[in-house]
Amino acid sequence: MKKIINTSKAPAALGPYSQAVEVNGTLYISGQIPFVPETMTLVSDDVKAQTKQSLENLKAILDEAGYAFKDVVKATCFIKNMDDFGAINEVYNEYLGEVKPARACVEVARLPKDVKVEIELIAVK
């Protein structure tokens, strides 16, 4: 059975999609950009601050669904500039370093609202 997950502790969807969908013990979380949920504004221009906010938004959705970072099996990072890879990894490691999920990290031409990073996750119980 499909269950839609939504929380006010993460930014509202910017389009016709759900923050997350749970199906048969698997949680698919839509890409989270570094917006502050309360204001729907960019947290900072700094890539580390943006990475942290994106991960905090993901944490809020995981929490709402009853999951944790330890349940994450796959992450996808979309980044504006591969030169930021090291800085993004520093922050990412604080949240998922011990979990070590499968991951892809790709440089993209443009992200929503011209942010520097967007991260999506898949978690399994």
Mean pLDDT in order along the chain per 10 residues (125 residues): 97 94 98 97 98 98 98 98 98 97 98 97 97
CATH of the domain at 61: 3.30.1330.40
Domain that holds residue 77: 2-124
Q: 123: exposed, middle or buried (C-beta count within 10 Å: 0-12, 13-18, 19+)?
A: buried
CB atoms within 10 A of CB 86: 9
Domain count, the chain: 1
Report, as residue numbers or ranges, the catalytic residues.
105
Q: What tens digit of pLDDT does each residue of 73-92 get?
A: 999 999 999 999 999 999 99
